Chains A and B, each alone.
Chain A
Amino acid sequence: MTTFLPFIILGLTSGAVYGVAASGLVLAYRTSGVINFAHGSTAAVAAGIFYWLHDEHGMAWPFAALIAVLGLALVAGAVMERIAAVLARVPTTLSVAATVGLSIALTAVIVIWYGPAPLQFPSFLPSSTFKLGSVLVGYDQVITVAIGIVAVASMSLMLRYSQRGRAMRAIVEDPELLSLTGLSGYSVRSLAWFISTAFAAISGILIAPSLGLDGTLLTLLVIQSFGAAAIGAFSNLPMTFIGGLVIGVLSALSTKYSGTNDWLQGMPQGLPFIVLFVMLIVLPRRLLVELGSAVQERTIGRVTGGRAARSSKAAVAAILLLIVPSVVGAHLAVYTLAAAYLIILLSLSLLVRTSNQISLCHMTFAAIGALAFHHLTGSVPWVLAVLISGLIVLPVGLLISIPAIRLSGVYLALATLGFGILVEQLFYARSFMFGDALSLATPRPSFASGPKAYYYLVVGFVVITYIAVRAIEQGRLGRILRARADAPEALTALGLNIRSTSMIVFAISAAMAGMGGALIGPIFGVIGQSTFQTVPTSMLLVVLLVLGSRNRSAGTLGACMIAAAALVVVPDYITSGTLQSWLNVLFGAGAIEVAFAYRGYGLSSRIKRLRSPGSPIAPDQPSSRLSVPILIEAPK
Chain B
Amino acid sequence: MLELREAVAGYGDSTVLRGVSIEVSAGQAVSVVGPNGAGKTTLIRTICGLLPVRSGARIIDGVDATAQSVHAIARAGVCHIPEGRGVFPGLSVRDNMMLFAGSDGKRTAVERGLSAFPQLTKHLNQRAGSLSGGQQQMLALSRVVVSNPSVVLIDEASLGLAPVIVDEIYDFLGRIVSEGIGVLVVEQYVTHALRFASHVYVLQRGALVYSGAPNELGSQEQLFERYLEGDLEQSRST
Contact = CB atoms under 8 A, between A and B. Distances in A.
A624 B48 CA distance: 22
B6 interface: no
Interface in B61-112: 69-71, 74-75, 79-80, 82, 85-91, 95, 98-100, 102-103, 106
Interface in A165-198: 166-167, 169-170, 172-174, 176-185
Contacts of A260: none
Contacts of B103: 163, 182-183
Given A181-B99, A624-B13, A169 B91 contact: yes
Contacts of A176: 50, 70, 82
Interface residues on A, range: 20 to 34
A174 B74 contact: no
B41 interface: no
A184 B90 contact: no
Contacts of A474: none
B13 A183 contact: no
B160 interface: no
A169 B71 contact: no
Interface residues on B, range: 20 to 34
Contacts of B12: 624-625
A166 B71 contact: no
B71 A184 contact: yes
B31 interface: no
Contacts of B95: 166, 169-170
Interface string A608-636: 00000000000000001111100000000
Contact of A174 (B14, B48, B80, B85): B85
A182 B88 contact: no
A177 B82 contact: yes
Given A179-B74, A624-B13, A163 B106 contact: yes
B82 A183 contact: no
A183 B50 contact: no
B91 A166 contact: yes
Contact of A626 (B13, B48, B69): B13
A176 B87 CA distance: 11
B147 interface: yes
B8 to A, nearest CB: 12
B143 interface: yes
B61 to A, nearest CB: 16
A167 B12 CA distance: 29
B71 A182 contact: yes
B88 to A, nearest CB: 5
Nearest to B75: A182
Residue among A177, A624, A627 having the largest count of chain B Cβ atoms under 10 Å: A177
A177 to B, nearest CB: 7
A181 B91 contact: no
B13 A625 contact: yes
Given A170-B88, A625-B12, A184 B69 contact: yes
Residue among B14, B15, B88, B98 having the largest count of chain A Cβ atoms under 10 Å: B88
A173 B90 contact: yes
Contacts of A178: 88, 99
A178 B143 CA distance: 12
A180 B91 contact: no
Contacts of A179: 69-71, 74
B70 A177 contact: no
Contact of A180 (B15, B74, B90, B106): B74
Contacts of B69: 179, 184
Contacts of A172: 90
Residue among A174, A177, A182, A185 having the largest count of chain B Cβ atoms under 10 Å: A182
Given A173-B89, A177-B86, A624-B12, A166 B100 contact: no
Given A625-B12, A626-B13, A627-B13, A181 B100 contact: yes
B126 to A, nearest CB: 15
Contact of B48 (A173, A180, A185): A180
A173 B95 CA distance: 13
Contact of B70 (A166, A180, A625): A180
Contact of B85 (A166, A177, A626): A177
A181 B143 contact: yes
B129 to A, nearest CB: 9
B28 to A, nearest CB: 21
A626 B12 CA distance: 8
B17 to A, nearest CB: 15
A163 B106 CA distance: 8
Interface string A488-510: 00000000000000000000000
Residue among B71, B87, B91, B102 having the largest count of chain A Cβ atoms under 10 Å: B71
B50 A163 contact: no
A625 to B, nearest CB: 4
A177 B88 CA distance: 8
A57 B80 CA distance: 55
A599 to B, nearest CB: 15
B13 A180 contact: no
Given A169-B88, A169-B90, A173-B89, A181 B98 contact: no
A386 to B, nearest CB: 50
B95 to A, nearest CB: 5
Contacts of A181: 71, 74, 99-100, 102, 143, 147
A176 B90 CA distance: 15
A163 B74 contact: no
Contacts of A163: 98-99, 103, 106
A163 to B, nearest CB: 6
Given A163-B98, A166-B98, A624-B12, A180 B82 contact: yes
Given A179-B71, A180-B74, A170 B13 contact: no
Given A179-B70, A182-B71, A166 B99 contact: yes
Contact of A173 (B74, B75, B91): B91
Contacts of B99: 163, 166-167, 170, 178, 181, 183
Contacts of B79: 180
Contacts of B80: 180
A184 to B, nearest CB: 5
A604 B98 CA distance: 45
Contacts of B15: 627
Contacts of A177: 82, 85-88
Nearest to B102: A182
Given A173-B90, A625-B13, A182 B106 contact: no
A627 B8 CA distance: 14
Interface in A311-367: none
Contact of B71 (A183, A625, A628): A183
Interface string A393-430: 00000000000000000000000000000000000000
A185 B80 CA distance: 17
A173 B85 CA distance: 11
Interface of B: 12-15, 48, 50, 69-71, 74-75, 79-80, 82, 85-91, 95, 98-100, 102-103, 106, 143, 147
Chain A to chain B: the 3 pairs with minimum beta-carbon distance, closest first:
A182-B74, A627-B13, A179-B70
Interface of A: 163, 166-167, 169-170, 172-174, 176-185, 624-628
Given A163-B106, A166-B99, A181-B100, 6 more contacts: A166-B91, A166-B95, A167-B99, A169-B91, A170-B88, A627-B15
13 contacts: A163-B98, A169-B90, A169-B95, A170-B88, A174-B85, A179-B71, A180-B70, A181-B71, A181-B100, A181-B147, A184-B71, A185-B71, A625-B12
